[in-house]
Chains A and B, each alone.
Chain A
Amino acid sequence: MLRAEHLSKHYRQGEATITALTDFTYDFPPGATAVVGPSGSGKTTLLNLLAGFDRPSTGSVELAATKLETLDEDGRADVRLRHAGFVFQSWNLLPTLTALENVSFPLLLAGVGRSERNQRALPLLEKMGLAARADHRPNQLSGGEQQRVAIARALALEPAVLFADEPTGNLDSAAGAQVLDLLLEHASGERRLVLVTHDLQIAARAQRVLHLRDGRLTKIEEL
């Protein structure tokens, strides 16, 4: 499950207090949920709080039956490792590792042995159509390929929630469509996809759209 209750985030900037998110409450149902809004509307802040990257000023986030605000940094990292996957706009692959090793990395953190890591990571790369590129480093892959490796990495531990922040932002339309299909494919059954985007066409592929403006949830649109 993924639930946010009365989530707010304020930043201090000199003497001023900036409110990035105000009183956000939402219980994310299974399937794909898009979060849209103009720049500065609080989308990234919301994702940071939902994923436990940051602590809320007030309110609470429950991810996989765990209240994130009760955990320390390492506790939140453990929850992310076991229950959440991430796909960023700029791929964020580890540059010194091959595609296969990047996909295996969460498994390494989870203490999975080398042979099992490879057994589990290789099919994911095959599914992304990248089996032939398993031994390539990120700088030897195209943008679309890197993003597909990132998706495979996010899925390595079969997380309940997949967070994607502008996953197609740096891709051409064909590669973007392919990446989006792979993400939406994951959001089946009890699994959840939280898709942050400013592109309404992409948001329209989700089952529901949350509209943010000036840090507030202004509209929930079921599609």
Chain B
Amino acid sequence: MELLVLVWRNLTARLTRSTFTWLGIAVASASMVLFLSFGEGLRHALAAEMGNMGPQIRVVAQGTDAFSPPLPELPPQMLEQIKQLAPELGIEKVIPAVVMFRGGFDPASSFLFYGLPPGADPRDFYPKAQVAAGRIDPHPSGAVVGSKKAELNHLTMGKELRLSRDVKLPVVGVLKPAGSMLDSFIFVPLRTLQKVLGTKNYGVFLVQLDPDAKPEEVAQKLEEQIPGIDAQSTTEALKFAERAMRIGDLIRFGISLVALVVGGLLVANTVMMSVYERTREFGVMRAIGARRRFIFGLVLSEALFLALAGGVSGVIAGYVGSALINLYTQHAVGLALSAVTPRLVFFSMGIALALGLIAGLIPARNASRIPVTEALGRV
């Protein structure tokens, strides 16, 4: 009959109320875990993506949104400028590319085309890319399809892919699953995609460096010497993405905080009601010789126990929810976009316990300060 047993008995004595409070906290915690698991999953996916990517610098037109497909705004002269600077800056290879996005309502009906120049193939993006069927080079007039895209849209070898009313390409290669965005890409010849878009411009220059060159320095020099471009190294892109993720995390945390505050209020209400109903009990304890600290600890422990039970259940529910989301995203885009990481578990548990603590403090203080005579109705 230690303190925990007392806590358990008191909570189970009012089972319905305690259960609903526990469920409230669990739902709030689960929603927080789910919301924040997207940030964690995206972080993992992005880090893996960047780690797998070949080019060390990505050059786009100034002002291009980092997370949108770049528009074809880089004129051919710019390519020449970079090529001229290549020996001086330690640039080994520049791949001009065009990107076209055809959006649908779901991943199966969305297409991301990369137009690559002759001599370049998917391995320039992802050095580990391997072909499962056909060839890896889309030239002179074919499409090489990522594994997930091929699976979702039944793009088998020889099947025709329509890029516009007039332009069709046969599938000449299907890539092996890479567990990255590569699985959702379609690579086509650059000229074909430029024709579809009606431009001679490029959307992005993918820059590969000599082993001795420092990507950040080269990116900075490119920006200084060629006005109107954004040159971003992989490290910078990761840093930028991390900042964006943090902002996203804050927004998601803000949204989930509403649920958490409601959960905290539930605990406060439950414990406050319980204190009110058990005033006489506390009076008896004090009359027998319980110190204020004992009563305070007992009531606070009840709030913390509810928060802990809700927090643990919430994390488990969030984990299950996250796994279900990943089942879908893995099917749809070949990526696990949600992750319940240890730090997210600790963070969620910390928040749940902090809420329990805050919610329990006032009832615990009130319970410990009820005068014995009042509590026992002996005034």
| In-complex Cβ contact of A88 among B2, B286, B376 (8 A) | B376
| A86–B287 touching, CB < 8 Å | yes
User: Which of B6, B280, B291 is A74 in contact with, Cβ under 8 Å?
Assistant: B291
**Chain A residues with CB below 8 A from B294, complex form:** 109
A–B pairs, 12, beta carbons within 8 Å: A53-B287, A53-B372, A74-B291, A74-B293, A77-B289, A80-B289, A93-B284, A95-B13, A96-B10, A97-B9, A109-B289, A109-B291
B interface SS class:
helix
- Chain B residue nearest to A20 in the complex (CB): B379
Q: What 3 pairs across the A-B complex have the smallest Cβ distances? A: A81-B289, A96-B9, A53-B372
Return chain A residues, CB-CB under 8 Å to B285: 94, 105, 109
Instruction: Say yes or no for A78: interface residue by CB 8 A criterion.
Output: yes
Find residues 65-121 in chain A having any chain B CB closer than 8 Å to their own CB: 73-74, 77-78, 80-82, 86, 88, 92-97, 101, 104-106, 108-110, 114, 117
Interface string of A162-187 (1 = CB under 8 A from B): 00000000000000000000000000
- A78 to B286 CA separation, bound complex (whole angstroms): 10
- State the B residues within 8 Å of A (CB): 1-2, 6, 9-10, 13, 280-281, 284-294, 371-373, 376, 378
Q: Which residues on the B side are within 8 Å of A81 (C-beta)? A: 288-290
How far apart are the CA atoms of A110 and B376 in the complex, in Å?
Answer: 22
> What are the residues of chain B within 8 A of A193 when measuring CB–CB?
none
A95 to B280, CA, bound (A): 11
Are the CB atoms of B1 and A101 closer together than 8 Å?
A: yes
Q: Looking across the interface, which residue of chain B has its beta carbon closest to that of A104?
A: B1
Alpha-carbon gap, A77 to B287, bound state (A): 7
Q: Hey, which chain A residues are within 8 Å of B13, CB to CB?
A: 95-96
Contact A105 B288 (CB under 8 A): yes
Across-interface contacts of B371 in A (CB, < 8 A): 54
What B residues does A86 contact at CB under 8 A? 287-288
On whether the beta carbons of B1 and A96 are closer than 8 Å, the reply is: no
CA of A94 to CA of B281, assembled, Å: 6
Q: Identify the closest chain A residue to B13 (Cβ).
A: A96
Establish whether residues B372 and A106, one from each chain, have CB atoms under 8 Å apart when the complex forms: no
Interface residues on A, range: 20 to 34
| Inter-chain contact B292/A153, CB cutoff 8 Å | no
Question: B291: which A residues are within 8 A, CB to CB?
Answer: 74, 77-78, 109
- Determine how close the nearest CB of chain A comes to the CB of B211; give it in whole angstroms: 69
Is A218 an interface residue, CB under 8 A from the partner?
no
**Given contacts A48-B373, A88-B376, A95 and B281 within 8 Å (CB-CB):** yes
* Extra pairs beyond A48-B373, A77-B290, A92-B280 (14, CB < 8 Å): A48-B378, A51-B287, A54-B373, A73-B286, A74-B293, A80-B288, A86-B287, A88-B376, A96-B13, A97-B6, A106-B288, A108-B2, A109-B285, A109-B291
In the complex, what distance in Å separates the CA atom of A94 from the CA atom of B290?
A: 13
Shortest distance between the CB of B274 and any CB in chain A (Å):
11
Question: Would A54 and B288 count as touching, CB distance under 8 A?
Answer: no
Please, how many angstroms separate the alpha-carbon atoms of A209 and B281 in the complex? 31
Of A77, A93, A108, A153, the contact of B286 (CB 8 Å cutoff): A77
Cβ contact of B289, chosen from A47, A78, A92, A93, cutoff 8 A = A78
Contact digits for A42-68, partner B, Cβ 8 Å, 1 yes 0 no: 001001100101100000000000000
CB distance from A144 to the nearest CB of B (A): 19
Q: Which residues of A contact B286 (CB under 8 A)?
A: 73, 77
Task: Give bound CA distance, A105 to B291, whole Å.
Answer: 13
Q: A48-B378, A108-B1 are in contact. Are A80 and B287 (CB under 8 A)?
A: yes
Question: Which residues in B have their C-beta under 8 angstroms from that of A77?
Answer: 286, 289-292
Interface centre among A48, A53, A101, A109 (most CB of B within 10 A): A53
Question: Could you tell me the distance in whole angstroms from the C-beta of B19 to the nearest C-beta in chain A?
Answer: 16
Looking across the interface, which residue of chain A has its beta carbon closest to that of B368? Answer: A73
B2: chain A residues at CB < 8 Å are: 108, 114
Q: Are B292 and A73 in contact (CB under 8 A)?
A: yes
CB contact between B1 and one of A48, A51, A97 (< 8 Å): that residue:
A97
How far is B291's CA from A142's CA once the two chains are assembled, in angstroms?
30
Q: A97–B291 Cα gap in the complex (Å)?
A: 19
In the assembled complex, which residues on chain B have CB atoms less than 8 Å from the CB atom of A108?
A: 1-2
> How far in angstroms is the closest Cβ of chain B from A72?
9
Q: Are A109 and B290 in contact (CB under 8 A)?
A: yes
A215 to chain B, nearest CB (A): 15
Write out the residue numbers on chain A whose beta carbons fall within 8 Å of the beta carbon of B292.
73-74, 77
In the assembled complex, which residues on chain A have CB atoms less than 8 Å from the CB atom of B293? 74
Contacts of B280 in A (CB 8 A): 92
Note all chain B residues with C-beta closer than 8 A to A106: 288-289
Q: What separation, in Å, do the CA atoms of A48 and B284 have in the docked complex?
A: 13
Q: How far is the CA of A109 from the CA of B4 in the complex (A)?
A: 14
When distances are taken between beta carbons in the complex, the residues of chain A under 8 Å from B376 are 53, 88, 92
